[in-house]
Amino acid sequence: MSISYIIFIIIHLFVFTFNVEALRRLAMRHREYPLDESRETLPFGFLRLRHIVIIYVAGYVVWVVFSIWLYNHFIRTL
């Protein structure tokens, strides 16, 4: 294993840990302080918390796939 691949894996593990911790804290706060979802409290009148979480997780998956592609494209070809 090369040093660049080890650093790549470590960065991904740190980002994965950060995302899991952020989602865990979000779930914990959502249980502690249940929010009433109405048109006045929702951003743009329709964006619910579950939509934001889905976008957050989808963004993480896109980041992982794109970074793996970039790694293969730039590092593996050297």
Kindly report, residue by residue over 16-58, the tens digit of the pLDDT.
999 999 989 988 887 887 767 766 666 666 677 778 889 899 9
Q: Which parts of 1-78 fold into alpha helices (H)?
A: 3-32, 49-70
Q: 4, 75 in Cβ contact below 8 A?
A: yes
The pLDDT score that the predictor gives to residue 39 is 67
| pLDDT at residue 67 greater than cutoff 70 | yes
- Would the CA dihedral through 54, 42, 25, 64 be positive or negative? positive
Cα Dmax for the chain: 54
pTM check: above 0.85 = no
Q: How many domains does the chain have?
A: 1
The pLDDT score that the predictor gives to residue 44 is 64
The pLDDT score that the predictor gives to residue 41 is 65
The pLDDT score that the predictor gives to residue 57 is 93
Rounded Cα distance between 30 and 67, Å, is: 31
The tokens for 77 are 């070809």
Residue 19 lies in domain? 3-75
